[in-house]
Every structure is written in C-alpha cells, then in structure tokens.
Amino acid sequence: MAGLSREDLASRAIASEKYVRRMLATHGLRPTRQRIGLIKLLFGSGNRHVTADCLAAEARAVQMPMSLATVYNALNNFANVGLLRRLEIGVGRTVFDTSTSDHSHFFFEDSGEIADIAVDGSRLAQEIVVPEGYKIAKVDIVVRLRKAS
Amino acid sequence: MAGLSREDLASRAIASEKYVRRMLATHGLRPTRQRIGLIKLLFGSGNRHVTADCLAAEARAVQMPMSLATVYNALNNFANVGLLRRLEIGVGRTVFDTSTSDHSHFFFEDSGEIADIAVDGSRLAQEIVVPEGYKIAKVDIVVRLRKAS
DNA sequence: CTGTGTGCAAACTCTTTGCATAAGT
DNA sequence: ACTTATGCAAAGAGTTTGCACACAG
C-alpha cells in the first residue's frame, strides 16, 4: 500500500492536514473539508469508539458543523475502505472503531461504553469447522460486563 | 426451579397446552392465548432463531394472528425471564434464540441466516482479565461467514 | 373485581436516500 | 467542465408506547 497507513497517522499525533489528505487519497477518497475534519477527530487521539451522532457533536464543538447525513456517509466510506471497523455490538446504533486490528471488545452494560481487549478471534477461528463453501470473514467477540454485586 | 424447564418441553415435541401453561407459570407469566401460541411455535421444533416479524408471520399462517406489538412484548418478556436468548448479531433487527445454553453463532453474510456452533465462550472467558468491579455477564461470539471464492 | 395483556396507531430512534447546490480535480 | 460530496428534508426500517378494551386469577 502506497502512502500513509492509518496506524502511522495515529501514532504521529496527526493534525497535519498534509498527512490527512494523503491518507484519504491513498484510499481513493476525495479530501473534502468535512472528511478531513472527521479524520482529525477520529485519529487525533488514540483508539476510539464513536457513533455518527457523537462524532457530529464533536465536529460541532470544534466549529466544524456538518450534516448528520454527511457524518454517516463519511463513516460508512471510511469503514468500506478499511480505515474504520464497524462494530456489531447490538446496541441500537452502529459503532465505529478506529482500530482495525484483530481484537475483541468489552461492553459495559451499565454505561454502554466499549473498550478494547487484546484477545483476538483468529486463534479461536482455527478450531472452528467452517461449513462447505464458506470462509470466515470475521470473528466478533464481545464480552458483556455487569457491575459486580 | 419448580415446574418444567424449557429444555424438557422442547425435547417432548411439545404441543400439549398443559405443559406450555406450566412453563409460563413457572416463569411468572400469565398463560394468555397469544403467549401460548407463540411458545408452541418457538419450542415445537428444535432450536430456532426468530425475529418478531417472522414469528408474527408464522402465527398468522397457523390462524393465530396477533398484533406485531404483542409479538414484540412476548419475545421481550420471554427473553427477560430466560426462556429465550437475545442475540446481538448486529443485523438491523433483534434475533431471539430458543437455545439459552452457552454457545456461539455462525452468521452467513450472503443469506443473513444464523446457525449454532458448539464453541462456547466460557472457556475463552477464563483467560480474560476483567476490569475491577465488574463481572462477565455474557460472552458473545459471532463467526461471520462469506461465500468462498 | 383487580391487574395485567392485547390491539391499534402513533411516536420514536437510527439510518438511508433524493435532489439541488457546492466543492474537488 | 466534469464528477463526486454535501445539506436538507423526507422516507424507511425496526421497535416501543399510550390508551381503550379484553381477559386471567
């Protein structure tokens, strides 16, 4: 892959518009003002788990208001090209993870928060007998946590 | 637990209204006509994965039409008392599993179908370091399958 | 009787879409 | 210029809720 990877950017503390633009170009996405702003928010501070709604609120907070539909479009675009990972946590709304590496998640039932776990699904995948004609696309593991009584 | 368990009923090929009524009573639910009908549909034929929508369609098919809202209420009630397991698969709609035992799921991305896998999450759970003050409520593992190319 | 469940429709939340306008190359 | 993205509002899907009526204990 030519250009800068997502990890490179994240580790660089980002912010430089130049890198963001190249990151988008690398994935075949036009560097629009909105996308650039969102990428900065998403990758500017370590791994994150965001919804369209909360990301739009953040954008508003930094004086970069944009349509909620645009945020949805952008997040879907980013996920489709591999910049983000769509999480299937089963809360009502779609959550996007800025870390695309193979890892699992804690889901805190009391607060609704999500956190990464190092445990990956690939090891587990090896012991599974896959049905004829299919291959494993992804293994999602969610550890749901409840307050200890 | 006094009375008949869900497994007992399922293995008995069910249908007897007497058992269904006791099953509901055991879990503190009134045996209304609608609930009885739904239980028969749900547990009358092996393990199943249903949505409110498809279950309502089945009820209609057997001349037991009822409001979709009632089906939603019933499914939620059943899940809350432990008769069903709510699956967090992340497709747009909520899926209920008639098997409440610890097991995982295949999700066929082409057809949207769901199938059980014997692999359980409890073993995996043992190697996870749980955050202070929390305990594991459930471990959901979904193996997403794609047509092999 | 008393309380709970049902049915219906309306409300609600999250997400996508259509179309005119704006912006990127 | 030509193409693709944005913004807005409307449409959509899935689910829940409020209230009058029906039914179970």
Q: Which amino acid is at B59?
A: A
Within 10 angstroms of residue B10's Cβ, the number of other Cβ atoms is: 18
pLDDT per position as a tens digit, A124-133: 888 899 999 9
> How near does any CA of chain A get to the CA of B94, in Å?
8
Inspect the interface and report whether the beta carbons of B140 and A137 lie closer than 8 Å.
no
Within 10 angstroms of residue B39's Cβ, the number of other Cβ atoms is: 25
Query: B-chain residues within 8 Å CB-CB of A130?
Result: 143, 145
Quote the mean pLDDT of chain B. 89
pLDDT per position as a tens digit, A33-74: 999 999 999 998 889 999 999 999 999 999 999 999 999 999
A5 — pLDDT class (breaks 50, 70, 90) = low
Rounded to whole angstroms, the Cα distance separating B125 from A104 reads: 12
Structure confidence at residue B46 (pLDDT): 84
Q: Judge whether A112 is closer than 8 Å to chain B, CB to CB.
A: no
Strand D proximal to B60 Cβ, under 7 A: no
Q: What is the CA A94 to chain-centroid distance, rounded?
A: 10
Inspect the interface and report whether the beta carbons of A144 and B125 lie closer than 8 Å.
no
Structure confidence at residue B28 (pLDDT): 96
Cβ atoms of B3 and B23 closer than 8 Å: yes
Partner residue facing B145 (CB), from A89, A136, A141: A136
A12 has pLDDT over 80: no
CB under 8 A, 24+ apart: contacts of B28-32: B28/B81, B29/B77, B29/B78, B29/B81
* pTM assigned to the model: 0.88
B3 has pLDDT over 70: no
Distance D23 C1' – B110 CA (angstroms): 44
Question: Helix/strand/coil (H, E, C) string of A71-119?
Answer: HHHHHHHHHHCCCCEEECCCCCCCEEECCCCCCEEEEECCCCCEEEECC
Distance D9 C1' – B88 CA (angstroms): 32
Q: Which amino acid is at A96?
A: F
pLDDT above 70 covers a percentage of chain A that reads 89
Structure confidence at residue A53 (pLDDT): 97
Q: Judge whether A121 is closer than 8 Å to chain B, CB to CB.
A: yes
Half-sphere exposure (Cβ direction) of B81: Cα atoms closer than 13 Å:
17
Q: How many contiguous H segments (helices) and E segments (strands) does chain B have?
A: 6, 6
Q: Which amino acid is at B71?
A: V
Rounded to whole angstroms, the Cα distance separating B125 from A86 reads: 23
Rounded to whole angstroms, the Cα distance separating B101 from B104 reads: 9
B14 — pLDDT class (breaks 50, 70, 90) = low
Rounded to whole angstroms, the Cα distance separating A44 from A12 reads: 9
